[in-house]
Structure 1
Amino acid sequence: MSPLYPYLLLLVFLNVNGFLWVPSVCQESIRLNMIHRHHPKFEKKTGVKAPESPMERLQQLIRLDEKRIEMVFRMREHRRKVAEAVVNMTTTEKQQKRQVLSLPSSVQLQLYSGSYSYTNSYVTTFRVGTPPQRLLLITDTGSALTWANCIHNCSDCSRKHRRRRIFDADKSTSIRSIPCSSEMCQVGLQEFNAYYDYCPKRKSPCWYDMSYSGGTTVIGFFANETVTVKRRNKGHTRIHQVLIGCTDPTGNTDFSEADGIIGLGYSPYSFAYRAAMQLGGKFSYSLMDVLSSRNVSNYIVFGEDNKKMQMQYTELVLGKVGTHYALNVRGISVGGVMLDIPPYVWDVEMGYGAILDSGTSAFALPEMAYRPIVDALKAALEGYPPVTVTGLEYCVIVDNTTTFDESRVPKLVIHFADGATFEPPVKNYVINPGEGGRCLGFMPTPWPADSLIGSFMQQGYLWEFDLINGKLGYALADCT
């Protein structure tokens, strides 16, 4: 055997971001069930009751969408400011930043999220530590950091923090804090507002201090920890060296419905990236109709989804629009006619573009894209009595003596730059909240802003994120 063989083998296991990972031999997938906030199990786990009527449920989701849109707009503004700061950096400063860790452009951007933005999302049971401690965390494709309400070196925590679920770091034998003197803290984790100026000892933990648009601040320290997840068939898989944030639970009232967040965004530090790279480089999810009364959970799979279906593929743009999963959109047609939407609305190179966002319900677009779409579709709702749903411009009531004629609705198609198309069923954009209601499921956003393809448009499909090859797969699916 050549003396160089061990080193060549090591290079095979280094991914493009310079992080060491060992491919799974059997490539067995793992699965997490996701529960929407209006699912009966959500009330059982959190004590938060969903609105009784379908129309009230829709109204609540749209109110939360407005907060989410505000958050994404602030994120875009923050990305712009960071990009300007990078442009103004000296050549030496840029080289030093690159040499420490070869990170994609997405992790050059500081995370700025909104506490209200997460209340529209899905939750899942997550087991952290050794032995595993069960937590209820929010799944969000727009976030990269996984964090949980956590206690550490706290002698009176049982009296001080009266929470049903909290991660006790002192009871885990596998947690390892990230030193504040490390290059990871001083460079890599700056996207999470890591600070290291106060470092009394070299091994003192690396801390973070994140501000949220709802006014909440979360403070904690970074650590590597072991996560235990169920396999698709049976048994469990342990994923080691997962970056988590141990967050002080004091004052986190805006996150009272859950115990923290699972970062599913694109970053070498996100749980999605870590789990996907251990299981073949892919993850996928499928969402049920969020206004459906069916008692069915959604799911997310890391690794290959075993369901056999005819997939379509388009380019998955990574690292261009923050930690989001962006798409190269060429345009949108309604009734076979391409709408007059300025091309720069979809320009991911400028930091805009369309993103798949599990934390938004409606399809949110800048005004210059929103207006042509609703103008092309609103004729399908004419003749029915209008009803007011705050945040949605076109809603009607179909009374008991008539039925809604879906054939009147022209087909909407999203056209991608590589020639692929996405043609959702009418129910994904003419929303049926029940009680005879019908609404165009679109919301306007301020410009400049990203276009958010929310869960209404995504429902009923399997979405496969291939992080190695930069591809998005999608196919109609029974999301059970």
Structure 2
Amino acid sequence: MMKKMEYSPAGFSILLLLLSTCFLLLNVGAATNYSSPCSSDFPLDDHPHLHRRNKRSGGFVLTLNHAHGPCSPINVTSSGATILLHDVNRVDHLTSRLTSSDSRTHLHHHRLDVSSNGVQVPLKSGASLGVGNYVTQIGLGTPTKDYTMVVDTGSSLTWLQCKPCTVSCYEQIGEVFDPKGSATYKSTKCSEPECTNLQKATLNPSACSKLNNCIYEASYGDSSFSVGYLGKDTLSIQKKTVMSEFVYGCGQDNEGLFGKSAGLIGLAKNKLSMLGQISKTYGESFSYCLPTKSSSGYLSLGDSSTSSSKYTYTPMITDSQDDSLYFVKLVGITVARKSVSITASSYSSASTIIDSGTVITRLPSVIFSALNDSVVASLSKYPRAPAYSILETCFKGSYKSLPVPPVSLIFDGKAEMKLSPQNVFYDLTSKSITCLAFAKSASVGIIGNQQQQTFSVAYDVGRSRIGFAAGGCS
């Protein structure tokens, strides 16, 4: 017969402590096996086409994170109103590049050691023009050090803040790059072709220092800019050397809220962009999946990153006003599998840009109205909310509580983006509302990153085509 066990108060406390310890150890084990959506390395094994390319062609894949989400190294928090304000500035800036030939004449060089007198213009600290949406990490210098950078398909020149910050540096996460601490850093002289090519890359004239060093200016609107010296150094990805003399801007006067990143990676169509510089080795193409705020995506550079059969492609169009941007031809929109009521000429008369830095997709007024009317008709039984900023059509609650109709964007060549509800609506949790994630544009259409989220988007510049594939980040 089993003897009944008795415990003293002290013995009972010890038993509780032992049980608690066992419980914690079990949970630690569970946490160890838990796969967090936030990862420093994108899971290549889940994406065979990227894994094969990474091994065979010597290319590389970087992890992308949303700057405003918990996965971001900089973890910037911004209100919906602030994000939309920056988005308006971003779109105004892109539009001005297509409508004005002299919109970029800021000439902030004079704040550095310029050989001739610069034009004196009033300067003020500016707001971020939406460039802080997605970030990744690259390595520069010898020994290599990693820096968190914004990824931007609308910019050509790559730059980052550099010591000694002769004029101004904004607050960034991590150490500011010190060219004197790199054994492989070289200044670019004014006579070198990279300096000559600067104006086409930045749409601003270059300048020359008294020591004959090339000075660049990269501006992103009325008052957000980086000015500094053009340099060359070793570019590394995940400790692997990608290019020994990568050309980039070493910023000495950096003003604007660039999301606490170290700088910006330019992926536009230009000789000086990162794509242009590495194309001889890896090919003239790249792909990415822009993740939601709570997960991670990827940026893959190299020809094989765009060769997967999963993509449906549309021709890439060149615009004479700015041939560095990525244009496509939008030919149709369907809502609930029915084409919206609009003439074909309304599509053909408008240029459409694919852009990583714009949040909300812009459509010319006629196209937007047709889309908006169709979505509103599908959700007529659900309570509306007042318009918010540039977002005209809003409902109470979250998109998850609405039977959002299927929406598809159709491009020339039958390429199609079948949008999920989270691509169609934009939740403003602080206001407990959700809004149609499209806005009016006077002329130019822009496919923003809200619509691109979780799609693999392939920029095959060598073959002049852009491809789309759903489920790219999962």
Band the TM-score falls in, shorter-chain normalisation: 0.7 to 0.9
Which residues in structure 2 correspond to 1:75-474 (within 5 Å)? 75-79=97-101, 116-151=128-163, 164-187=174-197, 189-192=199-202, 195=205, 198=208, 200=210, 204-230=212-238, 236-249=240-253, 252-255=255-258, 257-290=260-293, 294=294, 296-303=295-302, 304-305=304-305, 310-318=310-318, 320=320, 321-334=322-335, 335-340=337-342, 343=345, 346-347=348-349, 353-388=351-386, 389-398=388-397, 403-406=401-404, 409=405, 411-432=406-427, 437-445=433-441, 447-448=442-443, 450-474=444-468
CA contact (8 A) 2:332 2:347 kept: no
Question: Aligned partners of 1:314 and 1:47: how far apart in 2?
Answer: 35
Question: Aligned partners of 1:139 and 1:245: how far apart in 2?
Answer: 15
Unaligned ranges ≥5, structure 1? 1-23, 52-56, 83-113
Supply the AA of the counterpart residue of 1:416: F
Question: Aligned partners of 1:190 and 1:241: how far apart in 2?
Answer: 20
- Which residue does the alignment assign to 1:46? 74
1:256-307 CA distance string (max 9 Å, x none): 62111100111111012333442233211012234xxx3x212101123499
Q: Pairwise CA RMSD of aligned residues?
A: 3.5
| Higher RCO structure, 1 or 2 (CA under 8 Å, sep 6+) | 1
Unaligned ranges ≥5, structure 2? 1-53, 105-125
Question: Aligned partners of 1:283 and 1:166: how far apart in 2?
Answer: 28
- Cα distance, 1:152–1:177 mapped onto 2, change above 3 Å: farther
- Cα distance, 1:425–1:145 mapped onto 2, change above 3 Å: same
Question: Aligned partners of 2:398 and 2:446: how far apart in 1?
Answer: 32
Post-superposition offset of 1:436: 6.7
Question: Aligned partners of 1:393 and 1:147: how far apart in 2?
Answer: 36
1:351-383 CA distance string (max 9 Å, x none): x61111111221112223222221222112322
CA contact (8 A) 2:157 2:266 kept: yes
Question: Aligned partners of 1:305 and 1:165: how far apart in 2?
Answer: 32
Question: Aligned partners of 2:203 and 2:71: how far apart in 1?
Answer: 34
1:411-434 CA distance string (max 9 Å, x none): 433332334333323432134556
Post-superposition offset of 1:207: 0.9
Question: Aligned partners of 1:171 and 1:360: how far apart in 2?
Answer: 35
TM-score (norm 1): 0.72
- Cα distance, 1:26–1:451 mapped onto 2, change above 3 Å: same
- Which residue does the alignment assign to 1:477? 471
- Cα distance, 1:242–1:365 mapped onto 2, change above 3 Å: same
SS, match of residue 217 in structure 2: strand
SS, match of residue 359 in structure 2: coil
1:82-111 CA distance string (max 9 Å, x none): 9xxxxxxxxxxxxxxxxxxxxxxxxxxxxx
CA contact (8 A) 1:64 1:120 kept: no
1:321-372 CA distance string (max 9 Å, x none): 442211122233444235325636545xxxx611111112211122232222
SS, match of residue 268 in structure 2: coil
- Cα distance, 1:224–1:194 mapped onto 2, change above 3 Å: farther
Supply the AA of the counterpart residue of 2:362: A
Question: Aligned partners of 1:267 and 1:200: how far apart in 2?
Answer: 28
Post-superposition offset of 1:396: 0.8
CA contact (8 A) 2:394 2:435 kept: yes
Which range moved further: 425-434 or 132-141?
425-434
Max radius of gyration: which structure? 2
Question: Aligned partners of 1:399 and 1:479: how far apart in 2?
Answer: 22
1:57-100 CA distance string (max 9 Å, x none): 54443333222222222222234879xxxxxxxxxxxxxxxxxx
Supply the AA of the counterpart residue of 2:324: T
- How many pairs are equivalent? 394
Post-superposition offset of 1:143: 0.6
1:136-159 CA distance string (max 9 Å, x none): 2111111111001112697xx9x9
SS, match of residue 272 in structure 1: helix
- Cα distance, 1:160–1:255 mapped onto 2, change above 3 Å: closer
